Chains A and B, each alone.
Chain A
Amino acid sequence: MTREIEASADIPVVQIATIVPIMLTVGANRIVPGIAIPHPVGAPDKGDEVDKAIRREVLERALKAIQTEIKEQTIFNK
């Protein structure tokens, strides 16, 4: 889905998910590793405040990814 959106809209698509090898296999170009499978953008087990802070950090990294020129599949780690 990620790859086809990028191909048909010709805009950068950053995928946030936890299992990085799957994103590499399906052809996602901009990859941000998620926190956990049931909550890729948050850590609700750590309380509201930490949850939101983590969500913000992951999303800021995603925003950085869509502004970054890349030549090949790239993982944006913390």
Chain B
Amino acid sequence: MSVPLKPSHLRPTIWVFVSCTFLAALLPQVLSAQTATGWAYKTLTKVTPPTGSQASTPLDAFILDGLKTNDLTPNPEADKMTLVRRAYYDLTGLPPSQEQLDAFLNNDSPQAWSQLIDQLLDSPHYGEKWGRHWLDLVRWAESSGYERDTDKRNMWKYRDYVINAVNDDKPYDEFIIDQIAGDIRPDKTTESTIGSGFLHLGVYDDEPADEEQFMFDYYDDIINTVSRSMLATSMSCARCHDHKIDPLSHKEYYQFLSYFRNLHIPLRIRHQDTSTVSIFDSEKENELNTQLTQGIQEVAEPRLKMWQAVNSLVSQHFADSNSSTRPKDVEFGFALEDWTYTQGELGEVDYFVEGELVDGPIYLASDITGITPTKIVPAAYVFKGKFSQAEAANRTFRVDINGGAWMYLGGELVFSKVGANQIKEDFEIALAAGDHEFLLIASRHRDLTLELNLVDGAEEIPWVSTDSWSKLNAKVGSRSNVKIDPSNPWAIAYKKNKELEKEAYKTLKPIEEKLTGSLVTAAYNSSEEKPTHILIRGNPHSPGEQVRPGLPSVLGDNLPTTSDGEDRRLTLAKWIADENNPLTARVAVNRIWQHHFGRGIVRSSDEFGGLGDQPTHPELLDWLAKEFVDNGWRMKPLHRLIMNSATYKMSSAPNEDALTKDPQNDHFWRFNMRRLTAEEIRDSVLVTADRFNPQVGGPSVFPTLPQEVLDTASRAEQRWDLEAGPEHQNRRSLYTFTRRSLLDPLMATFDSADTDTACPVRFNTTVPAQALTMMNSEFIAKHAELLTQRIKQEADEQEMESVVNTGFEMVLGRLPEPTEMEESLSLIASMQNDFGHDAATAVERFSLMMLNLNEFMFLD
């Protein structure tokens, strides 16, 4: 079974059965191998493209030279249809519309291609597509992960910052400085400050078991992301000991870390503002605060009315309770789960501690973060009422509850009990004669059932009963469908309350957005100065020698001298963005190449060190890097350079001779086919069904997800369903809120980027779950139906040939071949004849099939 492997593929396998520890013994050999792998640290110098070939561009000269040396022939240019799809997806991640297709196909001008590229580079969707490539690298997500998985404040502004930077072709060196030091650069702007949110995009444990460990894990996440995304160097390897393969020492890791030592790192913050900076001036703040106050007042009145209505319902329920043994004037309220747990007593709720009863479920906390209710499920029910006691006596109450109950008489706690299971307990209270005020708080656990009865001899006199509430609130935590008996007053109250919440949410949300719009997740320096020590074996509790900021010596001799000052992150950022840094430009152009051609010139695009692949075209890489720097670190000229080459325009067709000689296409004798990315698949379905909302930027959206998927999140009740409006459904996938504890199956199945570490190369798997998604899911069914409607609008509905033609044009941008027409017609006929469907349903099945075609999902 031996297969001729190239040396570059053998090499990693050699390392495999040599564990890291044993590698130390091999270090001398490794370092001698270093000369071969250290190419990436060499100074970037001007390379002259090879001459003598028929190459139409300098880029092609490099490629043709390699092909010639290896006795390979380049593929011919792909047809225009292939090229136009290639260009659209490549630059915008979207399929061309029929008009866009026709415009290009009918344009015979020699400049048609370069004009198309210019036009696509000017499209705002270009920034979305290429911004997403960057987001893959920087562990993009909008929540912190772990138990609470709290949102990060306005993280979407970072995403928009990236999109805008790409669209504006912001020089990459400037972009890098924003990421690392946008908050402290002398010429800082709102935008650059938002850019520094890069440093806080990672997972965040708001409840660390070991704070020192947490801090150094946080630094390591930053170092790992910076070094892999910008320098293609796995610096984290040196956290515990010297890097075993690359010349990076243990000490250098901590010198590098020390650049971030004065960065403020949030500790034990359980709300959205882990590290936020206000970007508005005080005048604007005041104005917004006024707006907020007004907004709350506007909401307050309908809330109060609503609440009175709910209470009157409850009072009616108790209308017959005029007997001396039953309570009267009962009011009813909700309290939310965000209780302040005070040490000692579980479930002491803050609203009561403060002596106030929450009059409704809208959680208006005092801090700025609480205006939007984070959830709408009430966690505790509050009953307040009076009863009369004719003469002083001991009275026995029986509480029967699944959850927890607290009863207060005249402000005194007389009974409390918390548990997971059914609690049925009697308690006796000595009561004086006269009126008593009681307050009963009942918290839910599995589901809320509550009975509070007065025991009178053998008789139990019902006081408060949630009756069919157990049904009402069944499995609140898992958000199963709640069945409500519409005649139950509690149910009416519950339902009205829900409506109220949604209404208030709608009104409050824009105000909240205005006010919190001033806050962005961004970096700032800590006021506390902490020394940096080498950590022995990476253990945060074993500090060794103290170190100062410094750069790895392998990266050059003329490194800037740095201080321990406030602006040390800026020093680091400028060094990374320096044209003399041997790695930065190479790494950047390699990635651009990767996203155009399916793989980098260095395949391991986050690893240029000894563990990585060798560049297949080192001179080309250097030439591109130099061009990039000379063009002011701008990406658009590089896209033009690449896409106008013959290499880019080659067909992806197989060629037996070349397949034998170069099966992996190391020499670029053809263009690599690729499957659409997860986002491209969903977006293309939206476009094809004519439901695509092209809006660029703005807060993230919450498209409907299957309930069983929402149920898996760390906090199932978190937000998602509050925002189910149409404006959330059809935006580009890039704008779907990225919650760490929730995997959107449509995206995850098609290999979307992992959220927790840099994702330099997307995986490309083929698994049955993808087929199930594309055949059976709600999303696909809905869009097959919409596509059918669209077909019917344009085609002659009575004429199935016309339907098929239109379907092919809408999904694939071309007309069907005769055999395809035949097959499609036979499918439609079979749906009608064998399965008894009407014509409309039959066409819907045809639409479904079209969305499943390989041609729809793959690019030549």
Q: Do A and B come from one complex?
A: no
